[in-house]
Amino acid sequence: MVRQISSKSESVVKVAELDHHVGEVIELSSSDLERNDGDISNGDLALKLAKEGKGITYTEEEESSLVRKLDLNVTLLLCVVYGTQFMDKVTISFTGIMGLRDDLELKGNQFSWLTTAFYLGWLSFEFLSVRLLQRFPLMKTMSAFVFVWGSVQILNAAAAFNFGGMLTARFFLGAMESAISPAAVMLTAQYYKKDEQFQRNTFWWSSNGVGNILGAALAYGLAKHEESMTIKAWKLLFLVTGIFTLLLSVILFFHLPDTPNEAWFLTEKERKISVERIRVNQQGFGNPKFKRYQAIEAFKDIRTYLYITHGIISTVPNGALTSFGSILIKDSFGYSELQALLLSMPNGACQFLSSFFLFYAIKYFGNRTLCGIAGYSVAFIACCLLAFPENKTAQFVGYVFSAVVHIGWVTVISMITTNTLGYTKKGVVMGLYLVSYCVGNMIGPQTFQEKWAPDYRQSKVIMAACSAASLFLMVIMYLVNIKENKRRDNLSSDHTTHQPELPENYEFMDLTDFENFKFRYVV
């Protein structure tokens, strides 16, 4: 389908029809191009710097030095943020065997609802947080969310007198953490080329495993010395992690700039090189304006619906194990409280190490989606080991390797980052995916019903089924992008179809992947 953005001006571009269910090439008019080329506010925030740095040259050594600075100042801090987020999130699992259930006198499925409430808060605030991140300075907004998130984590201990108080605190904790993933995606897209983004996404997702290990170690230490404390160990766990998060928010506020234009750790030339490097992405730093047509386009894209479906199904196991992992080790596998806390660490280690295996596999083989599919196959096998054997050792091995499910989310997040162009469209698609992520995580804890305790066999079977369906969806995503790239290649090689000339700096005009017919989807 061909769509003209401006009906009032004479069209200078016309491209052959594409099936809008897979892709769509937009018909740009001369006034549209002039508007975006001349009006910085209507284009991307990188457009001004791109014009100033026109013709800049740089060596491989200069680029390598720049990337090292970015990794040290941007990716490393995102890793700390993600590790802290997961540590705060998984404390509910640790406190579940440290006395929280008994002290709050939880009955039936009330513990499941504490995790569901977290993701309900996330779901309720997701689109608002994405819009705030787009509308206001990115890092200032992100650091504000992190500050309030740390405050709420501390309040988890203060509110922990009954089920209602804890439920409310968990809701608002999820609401504040809703901004972290979209902010990390936006920030990574600002600084890195599209072939570098998947690697960096992998790095900060892998830090979830580190957060799991550190959280389990902290919980073990507090539980072991609880007798010498004047406060319950599980309450102290909330306090310590919350205070650390508050300190992290201050570092974020002062350390990371809102755009590379303002990066204090880069020289003037490095800022211009940074812009020139991401020209290949055909997307810049972003545009604070909400563009209605891009939001509509997001709902015309079949990928959006594949992302949503995958987000729901693939996160059911995550929601279940985030809240019931330690309980499963203690009640189902038969270990003590302290042993269960220690045995939570291998799951985190597996998550961390599998991320680096994925990184090197992609570096060697090149195809990120196929590597992601291969990695997710391991997660499916792990869920089957957890669900079907009677042997407790085999089930524990399945539990440890079930951490590999995060490879699916990393792959899909990377697809959205690199294959969804247009700042508003990317924000809408990312928001929808994270909403679906919340829905799946809300469902996950509810699959662990009290009536199925302590073995939870039915819950484990549901996890295995969800893993199989998620694997199938990733294959479909791969085939859709392959088909669309071939379609666009055929159009480009068809000499009977007029091929338009895009203007200078079109990469920074905030065009969508449907509008930019030169764009090819990364597989």
**Residue 516: which residues within 8 A CB-CB, separation 6 or more?**
282, 421, 502, 506
Distance separating alpha carbons of residues 282 and 50, to the nearest angstrom:
12
Task: Output the pLDDT for position 153.
Answer: 92
More confident residue, 74 or 16: 74
Q: Tell me the pLDDT tens digit for each residue of 10-63.
A: 333 333 333 444 444 444 444 444 444 444 444 455 555 555 555 678 888 998
What percent of the chain has a predicted confidence (pLDDT) above 70?
A: 84
Distance separating alpha carbons of residues 460 and 244, to the nearest angstrom:
34
Task: Output the pLDDT for position 26.
Answer: 46
In a domain, 516, yes or no: no
From the CB of residue 66, how many other CB atoms can be counted at a distance below 10 Å?
Answer: 21
The whole-number average pLDDT for the span 261-289 is 76
Task: Output the pLDDT for position 500.
Answer: 60
Under DSSP, is residue 303 helix (H, G, I), strand (E, B) or coil?
helix
**What is the number of structural domains in the chain?**
1
In a domain, 36, yes or no: no
Least confident of 110-119, 198-207, 438-447: 198-207
3-state helix, strand and coil shares in percent for the chain, rounded to the nearest 5? 75, 0, 25
Lookup result for tokens 């605030």: 125
**Residue 36: which residues within 8 A CB-CB, separation 6 or more?**
42, 43, 509, 510, 511
Half-sphere exposure (Cβ direction) of 83: Cα atoms closer than 13 Å: 23
In a domain, 147, yes or no: yes
More confident residue, 263 or 218: 218
pLDDT band at residue 229 using 50, 70 and 90 as cut-offs: confident
In a domain, 447, yes or no: yes
Task: Output the pLDDT for position 50.
Answer: 54
The whole-number average pLDDT for the span 286-312 is 90
pLDDT at 3 over 50: no
From the CB of residue 464, how many other CB atoms can be counted at a distance below 10 Å?
Answer: 22
Alpha helices, DSSP H, located in 343-456 = 345-365, 368-387, 392-401, 406-419, 423-446
Task: Report the Cα–Cα distance between both ends of the chain, in Å, rounded.
Answer: 23
Domain enclosing residue 419, as ranges: 51-262+289-493
In a domain, 501, yes or no: no
Least confident of 33-37, 189-193, 345-349, 382-386: 33-37
Task: Output the pLDDT for position 38.
Answer: 43
Mean confidence (pLDDT) of the chain: 83
In a domain, 429, yes or no: yes
The whole-number average pLDDT for the span 58-81 is 92
In a domain, 513, yes or no: no
Task: Output the pLDDT for position 294.
Answer: 92
Task: Output the pLDDT for position 9.
Answer: 34
Where residue 152 sits, what CATH number does that domain have? 1.20.1250.20
233 exposure class (CB count in 10 Å sphere: 0-12, 13-18, 19+): buried
Q: Tell me the pLDDT tens digit for each residue of 128-148.
A: 998 899 889 999 999 999 999
pLDDT band at residue 502 using 50, 70 and 90 as cut-offs: low
In a domain, 351, yes or no: yes
Task: Output the pLDDT for position 151.
Answer: 94
